[in-house]
Amino acid sequence: MVEQHALVVAIQHHQAQVEIVRQKPCGICGQTRGCGVSIWGKLFGHQTNSFAVDNALKAQVGDMVLLAVEDGAVLSSATMAYGLPLALLLIGAACGQQFLHLASSSDANSLMGALLGFLLGYGLLRRRVNGLSYLSKYQPRMIKVLSPSLNSSQ
């Protein structure tokens, strides 16, 4: 299991909105939540991302919780996210060089084939992700409340 600390920022019905909190600050920007220095951090400011998980442990806003995801889910997601578009890009480039005769240059044909392959890979990936996102294997689970909020003791 891959485990990560998160902060509960909101409760809605049986769901908790959580933000991932790194245990060690980023070596570049010093932030423990979101990104403050990278190009995206500079363009869009320090932004944090939250997502919903089942609140099976009845955590409260302000609680620090431990989330877990199955090992295989992380590896298969990363392989799918990077491998599928890259593989279809390379296959598209090879097919473009061999079979496309739209331009006088084989490099231009390869480039067009690579672009078509990448777009196909991206489309397939989006479809696949939408189908897999509902499987419990890919859903993070709250497994422990690490520190109760000050609000829960009142």
Calculate what percentage of the chain has a pLDDT beyond 70. Answer: 75
Hey, what's the torsion of the CAs at 65, 70, 71, 73, to 10 degrees?
Answer: -120
In CATH, what number is assigned to the domain containing residue 12?
Answer: 2.40.50
Residue 64 shares a structural domain with residue 11 = yes
pLDDT digits (tens, 9 = 90+) for 25-75: 555 555 555 555 555 555 555 556 778 888 888 898 988 999 988 888 888
pLDDT of residue 154: 46
Q: Are residues 34 and 84 both part of a single domain? A: no
pLDDT on residue 42: 57
Domain match, 126 and 86 both: yes
- Band (pLDDT 50/70/90 cuts) for residue 81 is confident
Q: How many domains does the chain have?
A: 2
| 13 and 46 inside one domain | yes
Task: Give the separation between CA 59 and CA 54, rounded to whole angstroms.
Answer: 10
Which range (29-33, 125-129, 141-145, 146-150) has the least confidence? 29-33
- Parent domain of 63: 2-70+140-153
